[in-house]
Amino acid sequence: MTDLKSRFEDLKKERGRLPARDGARELGVSEAALVNAMTSDTTVRLRDDFKAILERVKDFGRIMGLVRNDDFVAMPIGEFSELSFDGTQGRAKGGNIDLTFDLEHWASAFAMKELSHDTLRRMIQFFDDSGEAVFKVVLWSSDGNDAYDAFMDEFKVDPSTPLNDNQTNPSAWQNFVQPDNAKLITDDAPAKTQDFLQACIDNKLEIELQIPTNASLETYRGPLRKLEPRDQPGWIDLRYPHFTTHFGVGAVAKVSVAQDDAGFGAVSLVDSSDRIICRVSCAGDAGAKDGWSTAVASSLLN
């Protein structure tokens, strides 16, 4: 573990600022393994009682609930005003947060204090049984600081506890299977995806946007306001009324459009490894279906 920490520190000296996600890939380990190697007074391993941890998040008040896969980063702000469990399945809602999760595939958690832009951020990061991140809680108000600090002391465990990050067949939430009734678009998929999202804006559509990881799913329902390019090639910002997401549109290798007798259904945006980046569908009433059909046909099927 000490050797892995040293290798990562050497890599950061060479590369500059390097997120753990990217560093783990450079070093050939899971992100969970790298974070575990970096444990210290400010990064602690937590016991894997995920229900109890999530219940305590309600005490922190306003948070950012970050969900990301390789090509999509969602950062809604809210709180856990509603939290429910049904076996290993669960859901947390509040503000712009609407998180569905499968605790069967959650395997480890860490509490971290990290200086960011001269502000000490308190956060919790959860990983699945393949060592990939599934959800991050970032405190968004100092009101929860005392509750967080007490929680951090109460739930911390020895980082030498064996880490579960060897699962090679994780949850299928991000795995894509082409439906029989769907149209598949592969030519100019990134450009057509961006045209489609712009058409949703132009047609003033209420959308449902789902961002999956292997063991969690963030959902947004509402309008999409604006697309903006990022400095990072192949990435754009999607701006909604109250928050922003980052989308690696350049990674879209195929677009799948569900279709039945009632018209067009969900649009799945898929990478070259057949993993769903995100899924978009119409969230408006029956009268919005015409606008949805226009957006899909004009941008994806022309």
Q: In this structure, how many other beta carbons lie within 10 angstroms of the beta carbon of residue 66?
A: 18
Rounded Cα gap, residues 205 and 291, in angstroms: 7
DSSP state of 214: S
Q: What's the confidence (pLDDT) of residue 171?
A: 58
Q: Position of tokens 């809680």?
A: 137
Residue 186 corresponds to which tokens in the numbers above?
Answer: 């592969």
Residue 288 corresponds to which tokens in the numbers above?
Answer: 């919005």
Domain with CATH 3.40.1570.10 in the chain: 39-157, 172-300
Q: Does the predicted TM-score (pTM) go above 0.85?
A: yes
Rounded Cα gap, residues 45 and 36, in angstroms: 7
Please identify, in words, the CATH class of the domain defined by 39-157. alpha beta
Q: What's the confidence (pLDDT) of residue 16?
A: 81
CATH architecture for residues 172-300: 3-Layer(aba) Sandwich (3.40)
Residue 199 corresponds to which tokens in the numbers above?
Answer: 């058409």
Q: What's the confidence (pLDDT) of residue 170?
A: 63
Q: What are phi and psi of 267, to 5 degrees?
A: -110, 120
Residue among 124, 50, 113 nearest 83 (CA): 50
Q: What's the confidence (pLDDT) of residue 176?
A: 93
Q: Which residues of the chain have pLDDT under 50?
A: none
Q: What's the confidence (pLDDT) of residue 115?
A: 84
SS3 category, 275: strand
Residue 172 corresponds to which tokens in the numbers above?
Answer: 């299928």
